């Protein structure tokens, strides 16, 4: 299976190499069972990119929050999940998305191109952006988790939600970064 993923990924990269100025890449879409073009350069649409891992307990716990935010912003913000690395199969990701009822597309970035471009380090880690060069917010979703093993009963600050609201209202984002806490993105 991994050989097929790498082969399709390589083929897709060759097909779009002429469009490298736009930095379009291909990511494996487990739901469609094929590689799909992906770009950080959609300058018209506000995007939330969230790095996830099917084994990370925090990612599992945050799926409800992310689904609620996506529903709240429907039509105004695109949500995309990215599984970095080669550790998970398409079936692993499909099972994760199905079990946790994830309502936005989740892609496998086996070459870790997106995580490298955005310098993501943990899962879950979010980026609110418009195109590759305009990042409004990145880091933790909220303040529910202070550090690994230290969580509050419930969050009291909603960093991602507030950044989305401020960006949609065309006002400067007050808090543009909060250190994300989570499972390290591995080198594999």
Query: Could you give the number of structural domains in the chain?
Result: 1
**Domain with 97 in it: what CATH number?**
3.40.30.10
How many whole angstroms separate alpha carbon 5 and alpha carbon 179? 32
> Considering the domain boundaries, does residue 151 fall inside one?
yes
> Considering the domain boundaries, does residue 15 fall inside one?
no
Choose between 182 and 10: higher pLDDT: 182
pLDDT of residue 81: 97
> Considering the domain boundaries, does residue 8 fall inside one?
no
> Considering the domain boundaries, does residue 34 fall inside one?
no
> Considering the domain boundaries, does residue 22 fall inside one?
no
- Which residues span the domain enclosing 64? 39-184
Evaluate if residue 16 carries a pLDDT over 50.
no
CB 69 within 8 A of CB 128: no
pLDDT digits (tens, 9 = 90+) for 67-108: 999 999 999 999 999 999 999 999 999 999 999 999 999 999
> Considering the domain boundaries, does residue 3 fall inside one?
no
> Considering the domain boundaries, does residue 29 fall inside one?
no
């Amino acid at each position: 299976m991994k050989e097929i993923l790498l082969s399709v990924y390589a083929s897709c990269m060759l097909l779009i190499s002429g469009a490298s100025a736009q930095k379009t890449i291909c990511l494996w879409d487990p739901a469609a069972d094929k590689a799909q073009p992906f770009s950080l350069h959609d300058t018209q649409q506000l995007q939330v990119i969230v790095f996830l891992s099917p084994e990370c307990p925090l990612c599992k716990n945050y799926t409800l929050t992310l689904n609620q935010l996506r529903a709240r912003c429907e039509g105004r913000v695109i949500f995309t999940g990215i599984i970095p690395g080669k550790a998970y199969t398409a079936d692993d990701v499909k099972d994760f998305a199905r079990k946790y009822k994830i309502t936005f597309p989740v892609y496998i970035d086996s070459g870790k191109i997106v995580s490298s471009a955005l310098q993501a380090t943990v899962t879950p880690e979010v980026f609110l952006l418009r195109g590759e060069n305009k990042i409004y917010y990145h880091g933790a979703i909220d303040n529910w988790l202070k550090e690994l093993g230290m969580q509050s009963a419930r969050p009291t600050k909603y960093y991602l939600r507030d950044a989305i609201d401020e960006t949609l209202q065309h006002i400067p984002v007050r808090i543009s970064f909060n250190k994300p806490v989570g499972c390290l993105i591995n080198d594999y």
